[in-house]
Amino acid sequence: MKHLLDFDDWNRGELESILETSNMMEQVLERPIKKVPALQGFTICTAFFENSTRTKVSFELAARRMSADVVSFASGASSLSKGESLRDTLETLKAMRMDCFIVRHPASGAAHQVAKFSNSPTVNAGDGRRAHPTQALLDAYTLKKHFGKLEGLKVAIIGDVRHSRVARSNAQLLKILGADVTLCGPAPLLPRELSGMARLTTDPLEAVKGAHAVMALRIQQERLSSGFLSSLYEYRAGYQVNEKLLKGAREDAIVMHPGPMLRDLEISGTLASSGRSVILEQVENGVAVRMAVLYHLLVGKK
Amino acid sequence: MQFKATMMDAAGVLRAITRITHEILEHNKGAESLAIVGIHTRGIPLAKRIADRIAQLEGIVVPTGKLDITLYRDDLWEIGLQPIVRQTEIEFSMAGRQVILVDDVLYTGRTVRAGLDALIDLGRPKNIQLAVLVDRGHRELPIRADYVGKNLPTARLEVVKVRLTETDGGHDVVELWERE
């Protein structure tokens, strides 16, 4: 049984195959009837213990487009508030015969726990700050659509890298697929331990030099009170992804953001809405990519 | 697997396609509003050959398409190995079209059933007709071909192998093999 918890157990061939299938799924989404019966009879449970708009809706759509039945578990309205543990919650859901779990949880490793207890294919929709593999896949797919390939692409990821599962998963995936990643942010938000995964720099001009894509990460207000950031003005002045910073990148460079974004904070509002921005395309591609992920994990495996 | 016999050689395939084309034109009183859609894999070159023949005979270019039915199969959980999803390319509108669905071998009928579902999800054709190179019997669903190259009664243990130049290289041939 295979899970998509991160990319530790995935090889390049398998990942490229998911991107290929995403392309086919995209075509399904262009038809008048956006449905295929491939996952008919499967019950997929989205278990979100953390807020989400795009990821949750994206997964639900992906599952429904494949004709699966979707059950949604939102922690706010669940018995977790009565003190039920994660394990018991899962065993309860498992007793109702779920074929697949899609989990988002504030604790790292939560998806691994779900995979272990549920004994069903599990997709990590974001665990703590550790990983968010489907985001990385849709980002890679978006890049590949734009540039025709991933090998040799130079990608700069700028923002609060320390607290970003998106940055970690992107760095891991893009490295496997042959792209060149630079992680950039103010020193307190750029952990040295990541130097094995990607190039690290606190200088955004250096990060974007020759880059095919510049990805901005959300700045969280909470970081101010915990001492990681001195002031938002300072962050904006030094690290905002805006037209001026993009001048250092390639002329055909695209601008990405996993969302949700704070316009004019980590990314300038005008750039986010410009022709160089592929932010909405990322969201659109997310459904096709998640359909491909579900296809690869569930089809032929019952 | 054991080779048993050659059921159609290249000349035989050519004659069958010619006859099927004539039958299509005869039954539909010409090529107007026709579209020819081949099912992956070998239905595709067959569809193209029929369309080319029609162009030669009537001077009309009939739109062709490619249909991948992987996502519509009813046996996805049985096959074990994960089937690769391939391109469906249908660039014309279904409305008002008489679609000739083309495949190489008609057997249980499940592939054609999946093809019908896939086509109908793309729009509402005026009608759908089925053309196959070989009908080997053993239908598991109430499906029949409108145009058949060759009727070939077979045993379940037997396997019909079709090779076409476009997909397999070499000469066209239809062979009968037997499983051990």
Query: What ipTM was reported for this prediction?
Result: 0.75
From the list A33, A36, A299, the residue facing B82 with the nearest CB is A299
Distance CA A278, CA A9 (A): 29
List, for residues A111-167, the tens digit of each pLDDT value: 999 898 888 999 999 999 999 999 999 999 999 999 999 999 999 999 999 999 999
* Best mutation target, B66, B69, B76, to test chain A (most A CBs within 10 A): B76
Residue type, A145: K
Whether residues A218 and A122 share a domain: the answer is: no
Whether residues A125 and A169 share a domain: the answer is: no
The order of strands in the sheet holding B147-151 is B64-67, B34-39, B98-106, B127-135, B147-151
B127 to chain A, closest Cα gap in Å? 19
Whether residues A175 and A91 share a domain: the answer is: no
Using a CB–CB cutoff of 8 Å, tell me whether B85 touches chain A.
yes
* Best mutation target, B40, B66, B71, B90, to test chain A (most A CBs within 10 A): B71
Task: Note the helical H segments in chain A.
Answer: 12-28, 54-65, 86-95, 110-118, 133-147, 165-176, 204-208, 222-225, 232-239, 243-246, 269-272, 279-298
Whether residues A122 and A145 share a domain: the answer is: no
Whether residues A161 and A260 share a domain: the answer is: yes
Using a CB–CB cutoff of 8 Å, tell me whether A28 touches chain B.
yes
| B66 CB-side CA count, 13 A | 13
Whether residues A118 and A33 share a domain: the answer is: yes
Using a CB–CB cutoff of 8 Å, tell me whether A296 touches chain B.
yes
Distance CA A86, CA A109 (A): 12
Whether residues A98 and A169 share a domain: the answer is: no
Whether residues A201 and A215 share a domain: the answer is: yes
Q: Does residue A107 fall inside a structural domain?
A: yes
Looking at the 3D structure of chain A, how many domains does it have? 2
Looking at the 3D structure of chain B, how many domains does it have? 1
Q: Does residue A108 fall inside a structural domain?
A: yes
Q: Does residue B79 fall inside a structural domain?
A: no
In chain B, residues with a C-beta closer than 8 Å to the C-beta of A35 are 121
Check CB contact under 8 Å for B68 and A24: yes
A282 to chain B, closest Cα gap in Å? 22
Residue B124: phi and psi, rounded to 5, are -115, 95
Q: Does residue A5 fall inside a structural domain?
A: no
Using a CB–CB cutoff of 8 Å, tell me whether B117 touches chain A.
yes
Q: Does residue B30 fall inside a structural domain?
A: yes
Q: Which domain holds residue B143?
A: 2-73+84-178
Q: Does residue A212 fall inside a structural domain?
A: yes
Among B100, B90, B97, B88, CA closest to B145: B100
Distance CA B125, CA B109 (A): 20
In chain B, residues with a C-beta closer than 8 Å to the C-beta of A37 are 71-72, 117
Whether residues A224 and A250 share a domain: the answer is: yes
Whether residues A147 and A277 share a domain: the answer is: yes
Q: What tokens does A173 get?
A: 């995936």
* Best mutation target, A1, A299, A302, to test chain B (most B CBs within 10 A): A299
From the list B72, B83, B122, the residue facing A37 with the nearest CB is B72
B63 pLDDT higher than 90: yes
List, for residues A199-217, the tens digit of each pLDDT value: 999 999 999 999 999 999 9
Q: Residue A1 has what pLDDT?
A: 86
Distance CA A7, CA A147 (A): 23
Q: Does residue B78 fall inside a structural domain?
A: no
Using a CB–CB cutoff of 8 Å, tell me whether A32 touches chain B.
yes
**CATH number for A17:** 3.40.50.1370
* Best mutation target, A294, A295, A297, A298, to test chain B (most B CBs within 10 A): A295
A302 pLDDT higher than 60: no
Residue A238 — pLDDT band, cuts 50, 70, 90? very high
Residue A95 — pLDDT band, cuts 50, 70, 90? confident
**CATH number for B99:** 3.40.50.2020
Q: Which domain holds residue A178?
A: 133-282
Q: Does residue B173 fall inside a structural domain?
A: yes
From the list B80, B82, B87, the residue facing A296 with the nearest CB is B82
List, for residues B77-129, the tens digit of each pLDDT value: 665 567 788 889 999 999 999 999 999 999 999 999 999 999 998 999 999 99
Whether residues A67 and A207 share a domain: the answer is: no
